[in-house]
Structure 1
Amino acid sequence: MTLLLNLIAVLLRAVGVLLGAIADLFGLLHLALGALLARAEEGGDWRTRLVNRVNTPNGQRRLFGVLRVWQPIWVIDQRLIGAYANAGTVLVTRRADVLEVLARERCFPVVYEPRLRRLTGGDNLALGMQESPAYEQTVRILHLVLRWEDVGRLIGPLVQTEASAIVAAAGGRLDVPAELTLPVAARLASGYLGLPLGLSGVGAAELIDWAQIMYWYVFADLGADPKVEERALIAARACRRYLEEAIAARRAAPAAADADDLLGRLLALQASGLVGHLNDQALRNHLLALLINSIAALSKAAVHALDGLLERPRQLAAAATVARGNDLEALGRYLFEALRFNPVQPVLYRRALRDCTIARGTLRARFIPQDSLVFVATLGAMFDPWQVMAPRAFHSDRPRHDYLLWGHGLHACRGRHINRAVLPLLLRPLLAALDLRRSRGRAGQIDYAGTPFPAHLRVAFGRN
C-alpha cells in the first residue's frame, strides 16, 4: 500500500512538473510575441528585443523551466561565449545536475584564471584556482583573517550605523543603490579591509568604480567587450597602486600597525611567518580579490532583494513588521527568499577539463566534450520542482539548503556568512520606515544604466 501511495505521489508530481513546463513554454511564447509587437516602442531588431526579454529574471525562470523537462542538459556544438576559451556550450538546469557539476571540481573547474591574471598583473587568485596546494594555502590564509565573530563585533555595528544615518537623513526619498547600498558597501570595504579613504585622493567613488568594472570583467563580460576590458585593466592598475600604498602606509605607522582589520591581520600573519609565500604582492592580491567581491555583489544582492519585496506587497508588509521588531534572522529569511527569484548570478561558469558525463545512470545522462563551457543554472536549480517544494511560491521559511545564492562546492563564496548577516542589517532601517513604496513611473524600477549592476531604484517612505 505504501509503495502504491508513493508511486501515485511521484506521478502527481510528474504531472505538476509537466504542466509547469507547459505554462513556462506559453510564457516564453508570450515574451516572443511581445518582442515582435514592440518595434514602435523599443526599436531595434526583434531578436535583440527577444533576448532582452528572456534575459530577465522572469524570462530566465521560464526558459529554465522548459529546459528542465525537455532538455535538462543542453549540449550545443557552438561557441556562444567569447570571454573564455571553449569548444562548445552546455546549459545545465536540473538541481541534481547543477550540484553535481559544482561538486566535481576536478572535471569542471572554474574558468576565471586568465582574466584574474590580467587584473593582478600576472598572479592567479583563489577565485580562479583549481584544487591544489596553492589553493589550499590561499584558503588557509582567508580562514585565518575572515572570522565569524567579526559580524557582531566589527561589521554589524558599522553597517547598521551607516545605513541608519543615510535613511534618517534621506527626507523620505532615496535612490537605493546610489545613496544607500553602494556607499555602505564601500564604507564596509574600507573599514573592514583596512583601506583608508583619502589616501592618494582615493575615495568611496573610486573603490566602487574599480570593484564594479573588475567584477563585470571577470564574471559578466561574456561577450568579451574590448571597452570593458580596457576599463577593467585601467582600474586594476590604479587599484594595485592604491593597495600597495595602503600597505606601505600602514607599515610606516606604528600606531596603526595593530588595527583589527584585514590589512592589519594580513600584516601580522606575514610578520609571524606562520604561512609561506605571503609577501607584499600576495598580500595586495588578497585585498584585491576581497575588494572585487565585497562591493558590487553586496549592493546588487541588496537591491534585488528589496525589489523582490516591493513586487509583493503582502511580503513587504510582513518584512517591514519584522524589521521594526529588529528580528534580523527573520528579516534575512524574507530577503533571501526574495533574492531567490532574482539572484546576483543566475548562472555560474565552469569548463570541462576532459571528456565527462553528467547525470550518469539516468535517462537524461549526457556526454560533455572536453573544453565545453558549462553554464550551471543556479537560478534554475532553486526552482526545480523535483527537489524544491512549491518553488514558484514565496515562502520565507524555506530550509537553507534550498538556496544556492552563494554558490556550492569548492568555490562557494568564502564570505557567505558575512553576506547573510549584512543584508538584513543594511536594509533594516529602510524596511522599518513607514509606508515604503516605489517612486512613480520608471524611477521606481531598477535602472542598470547599461551595466550588470543596479545604478538606480528610487523609493519613497513616510508622508512624502
Structure 2
Amino acid sequence: MAGAALGAAGRLAVRGARAYAGGAEGRAQRIAALLGATENQRLVFALLRAARPNLALQRKLIAAYENTGTVIVTRHADVTEVLERESDFAVVYEPKMRAITDGENFFLGMQDSPAYTRDVSNMRLAVRRSDVPEIVIPHVATQAEAIVAAAGGRIDVPATLTLPVLTGLLGQYFGTPGPSGPVMADWTTRMFWYLFVDLAGEEKVTRAALEAASACRAWLDAAIAARKAQPSGTDQVLDRCLALQAAGVPGMDDLGIRNNLIGLLIGLVPTLSKASVKALDTLLDRPEALAAAQAAARADDDAALAAVLWEALRFDPVNPFIYRRAVRETVIARGTLRARRVPAGAMVLVANLSAMFDPIAHDRPKEFRPGRGAEAYILWGYGMHTCFGAHINQAVIPQLLKPLLRRAGLRRAGPVDGAGTPFPVHFPVTFDAA
C-alpha cells in the first residue's frame, strides 16, 4: 500500500505540474479536469488509503446540504461500516426529495422508519423480481438488437441506443411513457442531477430540475387519473399500484403512487444510460477485456458478460463516492490506528471507488479480473439504501450492450461528450456492418 501511494504521488505530481504549467489562462479548468478524471481519482485514493485513510477537513466540500465539514473515508472496511450504520450516518436527500414531489419524501431520502418500510414493501409488490426475466430482459434485448441492426455500422450510444431503450421501458413496464421518450429522458436526468450530482447547489441546476419535476408531476397525476377512470387491462407497475390502492393498502393513495413512481423513474434512466456508456468506454480502452466481453456476448453467456461489465465499472463507476451526514459525534474504525472522530453534522464522503481498489480487501485490485466476488463491487450502494432497482440494473446493462458487443470491428468514433452536463449525451462508435 505504501509503495502504491508513492507511485501515485509521483504520477499526480507530474500531471499536476503539467496542468499548472500550461499558463494562467484556463489553469483552474485544467486542474478541475485533472481531478475529475477517474484515473486520477484512483491515484488520489491510493495516496489517501496509505497516508490519511479517514481524512477530516473543516472545509465544506458539499454546499448543497447543510453540514459542519467533511470526512473522506477510503478503506473498504470503513466505507462499508459507514454505510451500514444508518442510525449514525444519515441520508441527506429529504429536502430535495420534498422539492421534487412538492411535499412528500421518497424512501431513498428516509431513515429506517415505518414510512420507509411501508413504501419499500409496497413497491416491492409492484416491481417484482420475477418481472426481470419475464418482461424486462425480453423487452430490452429486442429493442437494443433492433436499434443496432438498423444503425448501419455507426451509432451514438446514449442518444440512439441506451436512452431510447430505457425510456421505452418506462412505457412498456412501468406504464409511464411520458409525453415522449426524449422528454422523459430530459426530466429524469435534470431531477437526478439536482438530487445526487449537484453538490454545489447551483441555481440553474435547481431551477431546471424543479421545472422538470413540476411537469413530470402534472403528467403522472393525469396518467394515474386516466388509468383509474379507464383501466387498460395491462399488468404494468402502475396497474399494480392501483390494485394495491383498491385493496386499501396504506401509502398507495394517488400522491403516494405518483411520488414513488417519480423516485423510481429518476433512478432508472440516467443511471443506467451512464453506467452502460462508462462500461463500454472502459472496455474500448482494454483490448483483452473487450475481446472477453465480445466472446461472452456472441456466446449469449449473460453471466460471463456481466462479470466483465462489472469489472469495467469497478474501474469507472457512475459515482466515485456516496455521501452521508453524521447524526451525532461518533468514531469510525474504532480500535484501529486509523480511527477518526467524526463531528456531528459532518458530511462523510465514503469513497466506493477507493474501497473497490483497497489491496487489504481485494486481491491485486489494479488488475482487470472479471469474476471477482460480489463483495468486490460497490456499484449500486451498500446497506439499507442499496439501489432499489439493483436487480433491474444488473439485468439491463448487459442486454443494452450485448448487440453492440456482438459486432466485429467495434471502435470509438469520438469521445464521450456530456454536452455541459454530468451525463453522457453523445458517444459515437462504429462497427463492421453486416
TM-score bracket for the superposition, by shorter chain length: over 0.9
Contact 1:357 1:366 in 2 (8 A): yes
How far 1:260 sits from its partner (Å)? Answer: 1.3
Distance 1:397 1:329 in 2: 9
Cα offsets for 1:200-249 (capped at 9, x unmatched): xx100110000000000000000111000000000000000000111011
Matched, 1:152 2:133: yes
Matched, 1:408 2:385: no
Please name the residue that 2:238 is paired with.
Answer: 263
Q: TM-score, normalised by structure 2?
A: 0.98
Distance 2:273 2:84 in 1: 28
Matched, 1:38 2:16: no
The change in CA–CA distance for 1:401 and 1:260 in structure 2 (over 3 A counts) is same
Distance 1:80 1:387 in 2: 27
How far 1:190 sits from its partner (Å)? Answer: 2.0
| Residue of structure 1 aligned with 2:102, choices 97, 121, 145 | 121
Residue identity in the other structure for 1:264: D
Matched, 1:380 2:351: no
Distance 2:357 2:23 in 1: 32
Please name the residue that 1:10 is paired with.
Answer: none
Please name the residue that 2:3 is paired with.
Answer: 19
Distance 1:399 1:218 in 2: 31
Please name the residue that 2:313 is paired with.
Answer: 339
Please name the residue that 1:225 is paired with.
Answer: 202
Residue identity in the other structure for 1:411: H
Cα offsets for 1:118-159 (capped at 9, x unmatched): 000011101100111111111111221121111111101110
Matched, 1:161 2:145: no
Cα offsets for 1:95-130 (capped at 9, x unmatched): 100000000000001011111110000111011001
**What count of residue pairs does the alignment treat as equivalent?**
434
| Residue of structure 2 aligned with 1:325, choices 287, 292, 299 | 299
Please name the residue that 1:11 is paired with.
Answer: none
Aligned-pair Cα RMSD in Å: 1.2
Distance 1:89 1:347 in 2: 13
Cα offsets for 1:385-419 (capped at 9, x unmatched): 11011111101121111100011001000111111
Residue identity in the other structure for 1:203: S
Please name the residue that 2:183 is paired with.
Answer: 206
How far 1:463 sits from its partner (Å)? Answer: 5.4
Please name the residue that 2:288 is paired with.
Answer: 314
Matched, 1:58 2:39: yes
| Residue of structure 2 aligned with 1:245, choices 222, 230, 240 | 222
Contact 1:221 1:228 in 2 (8 A): yes
Please name the residue that 2:424 is paired with.
Answer: 454
Q: Alignment identity in percent?
A: 49
- SS of 2:89 mapped into structure 1: coil
How far 1:171 sits from its partner (Å)? Answer: 0.4
Q: TM-score, normalised by structure 1?
A: 0.92
Contact 1:352 1:374 in 2 (8 A): yes
Cα offsets for 1:24-68 (capped at 9, x unmatched): 11121122012123349xx41x24421221111101111111001
Distance 2:18 2:300 in 1: 43
- SS of 1:363 mapped into structure 2: coil
How far 1:299 sits from its partner (Å)? Answer: 0.2
How far 1:259 sits from its partner (Å)? Answer: 1.5
Unmatched runs of 5 consecutive residues or more in structure 1: 1-16
Distance 1:272 1:401 in 2: 40
- SS of 1:83 mapped into structure 2: coil
Cα offsets for 1:409-436 (capped at 9, x unmatched): 0100011111111111110000001111
Residue identity in the other structure for 1:272: A
- SS of 1:295 mapped into structure 2: helix
How far 1:193 sits from its partner (Å)? Answer: 1.1
Distance 2:131 2:18 in 1: 49
Contact 1:28 1:54 in 2 (8 A): no
The change in CA–CA distance for 1:66 and 1:87 in structure 2 (over 3 A counts) is same
